[in-house]
Amino acid sequence: MKSATVFTLLCLIGHLAFAQEQETISIDELEVTNDIELGAGYIAYHDSTSFSYGLKTEDGRVLTRPIYSSVGEYIDGTFVVVTEDYKYGIIDTTANFTVPLEYDELLFDPAVNAYIYSKDGQAGLMDKQGKKLWNVSYSSLAPFIDGYAVYSEGDKYGLVDQSGKVVVPAAYESIMQFDKKYYVVLDGSNMQVYTIKDQKLVVGDFQYLFLAYVDDLFVASRDGVSYGYINGKGETVIPFNYSFAGQFVDGYANVVKTGEEEMIYINQKGEEVKPNVNY
């Protein structure tokens, strides 16, 4: 046992012996709070009777009664609030509504500095005052990544840009992953990669297929057991010699060789390396 651990244990034993000589404190006397700091000096305070939340300042000034199931973080002078029947709205720092409690979901997306809303089966973007930012809406909308977001029309999925324009029509049962150039879809039991620009099939019909975050390089597996890396022509670039193969970060990927347990690093040539980085 390390000396630091022994010292810690001795301190704990001494503390317990000292505590036994003191007056016993009941658990009921301990202050328990479920209050949540929201930022900018505001707190969502919890009412133990109704199990609901209200809004107050950190100096104790109460702004709303505890009538919400949750109060969201402070964002540009506003807070998303949710009722027990799962209706969403937005209030300002005076507790006045800027967006009424009538939405099925409200999610702030920092990538576009706006709120993704959902109401009556329609989704889109709006500002903190409830003004719709697009003249179109979709069945659902996910947060933006690399300038695009997954949207749906019925049970099919595609991609839109930040203006709400469709860049990939909703024609897929699932979009698993995308970046600025490619997107990966699930087609039955297989996965395929397409280009965002013209929806051209790059490579497909692998059980496992994901972006390696290196242009024209993809993590792939035909059987879900052996993994390797292929290019856009389906040619093997790094052999399928791994039971796990990760995406590249700063030029290196984590892999585990088949039959082994240790995770190692490889470069884009498949060579084992020991990069001077911390992950």
Q: For the chain, give the mean pLDDT.
A: 89
Looking at the DSSP bridge assignments, the partners of residue 221 are 208
pLDDT at 242: 98
Rounded Cα distance, 114 and 159, in Å: 18
Q: Are 153 and 136 in contact (CB under 8 A)?
A: no
pLDDT at 121: 97
Question: From the centroid of its chain, how far is CA 182?
Answer: 20
Q: How confident is the model at residue 278 (pLDDT cuts 50, 70, 90)?
A: low
The 3-state DSSP class for residue 201 equals: strand
Mean pLDDT of 67-81: 98
The secondary structure element, H or E, covering residue 4 is: helix 3-20
Q: Convert the pLDDT of each residue in 58-67 to its tens digit.
A: 999 999 999 9
Given a cut of 70, whether residue 132 has pLDDT beyond it is yes
Mean pLDDT of 217-237: 97
Given a cut of 80, whether residue 130 has pLDDT beyond it is yes
Given a cut of 80, whether residue 279 has pLDDT beyond it is no
Query: When comparing pLDDT for 270 and 276, which is higher?
Result: 270
β-strands 156-161, 148-153 pairing: antiparallel
Q: Convert the pLDDT of each residue in 14-73 to its tens digit.
A: 443 333 343 443 434 334 569 999 999 999 999 999 999 999 999 999 999 999 999 999
Q: Convert the pLDDT of each residue in 89-125 to its tens digit.
A: 999 999 999 999 999 999 999 999 999 999 999 999 9
The 3 state secondary structure assigned to 134-200 is CCCCECEECCCECCEEEEEECCEEEEEECCCCEEEEEEECCEEEECCCEEEEEECCEEEEEECCCCC
Q: How confident is the model at residue 275 (pLDDT cuts 50, 70, 90)?
A: confident
pLDDT at 205: 87
